[in-house]
Amino acid sequence: MIVITGASGFVGGHLVSHLVSAGSDIACLARSETASRSLLAKGCRVVPGDVIRPETLRGILHQDDVVIHLVGIIEEKGSATFQAVHVQGTRDLVAESKRAGVRHFFYQSALGADRGSWSGYLRTKAEAEEIVRQSGIPSTIFRPSLIIGPWDGFTRKLADMIKLSPVLPLPGEGKAKFQPVYIKDWLRCIQKVIDNPASFTGTYDIGGPEHLTYREIVEHLSRAMGFKKPVFSIPMGFMKLSASILERILPSPPVTSDQLRLLEQDNIAARDAIERYFGFTPKGFDDMLREFIR
C-alpha cells in the first residue's frame, strides 16, 4: 500500500487524484474531519492522524508499505512550527516506518535546503532530509523549485494581486532566479519512483527547463491572464519592515520576513535535471500557464 501524508495540500491533492485514477491502493493521513471528507470523496482510504501528534502515528503503517511524506508548511502558526512539522514530525514518522518495516520512504524537501541556511524553512527541510537518510530505510528525496499548477498557492496569490492592482508590485528588484516545474511533470517523476523505487534512491533536484527571475515570472503570468500592467518596484527594506510589523499583529500575515528573504536568492538547479534523472523533457513556464490559467 502507498501511505501519503499531506494528501490534502496542493501537491498531495494532485497526487491522490492521479493515483486513484490509476487504481493504486492508497491510504491518506488526515488530521481533520474536513480533510477526511474531501479525501473520502476522492475514493481513497483515510487514516486519522497528525504528524505533530506522534501518538496518532502508532500502528498506521505495515510491512512493505511505501510512505510518501509531503507534509510541509511555508509559515509558522501556533504549534505548527518548522521544527515541529518538518523535523520532529519527520522523525516520528520515520521511527514508525522503521518499526513497521516499510519498503520505501519518499520525502518532499525543497531546492536550497541547507542546515546552515538563515531560513527556518530551508534549514528544517535539510534537517528532515538527514533524518530520512540516516534511517536505514531505502529512500528518495525530491528537492523541487516552485511547483506550478491548478490551485497552487504561489500562482493564486500572484494572480489575485495582478487582478486587483493597477500595477505589478515587485518586492525589491525581482532579480532572484527560480525554476518553475509543472505539477504534471512532478507527477511523472514520482510515478517513476513508485513504479521502481530501487532505481531512484537518493536526492534529486527537481526543476523545469527554464531559469526565470521573479520579475519574469510575474510578467509572464500577467500576460497569460490577459493583462498588461507596469511593474512597480517596492524597496525590499520597506517590505521587510512592513512584514515584521504585520507578523506581530496578524495571525496570518500576507507575507513573512522569511518568505521575502527567499525572494532574494536564486532557487535553481540544472536546466536538464528532470531529463537527466527521469528521461523526459518537462514543460516550459508559458506552456504550463496556457494549460491552466483562465
pLDDT tens digits for the chain (294 residues)? 999 999 999 999 999 999 999 999 999 999 888 989 999 898 889 999 999 999 999 999 999 999 999 999 988 888 889 999 999 999 999 999 999 999 999 999 999 999 998 889 999 999 999 999 999 999 999 999 999 999 898 999 899 989 988 988 888 888 999 999 999 999 999 999 999 999 999 999 999 999 999 999 999 999 999 998 888 888 878 877 887 887 778 777 777 777 777 777 889 999 999 999 999 999 999 999 999 986
Indicate the SS3 state at residue 101: coil
Q: Are 85 and 71 in contact (CB under 8 A)?
A: yes
Q: Which pLDDT belongs to residue 244?
A: 81
Grid cell 486513484 — which residue? 20
Q: Are 261 and 244 in contact (CB under 8 A)?
A: no
Query: 3-state SS of the chain: helix, strand, coil percent to 5?
Result: 45, 20, 35
Q: Which pLDDT belongs to residue 204?
A: 97
CB atoms within 10 A of CB 117: 17
What are the CA-CA distances from residue 147 to residues 20, 63, 179 (Å)?
A: 21, 31, 9
- Write down the CATH number for the domain with range 2-144: 3.40.50.720
Helix residue ranges, H only, the chain: 10-21, 33-42, 82, 89-100, 120-133, 153-164, 183-195, 214-224, 236-249, 257-262, 273-278, 285-292
Q: Which pLDDT belongs to residue 294?
A: 67
Grid cell 487582478 — which residue? 163
Grid cell 516499510 — which residue? 102
Q: How far is it, in rounded angstroms, from Cα 272 to Cα 153?
A: 26
Return the H-helix or E-strand segment holding 141: strand 139-144
Q: Which pLDDT belongs to residue 248?
A: 78
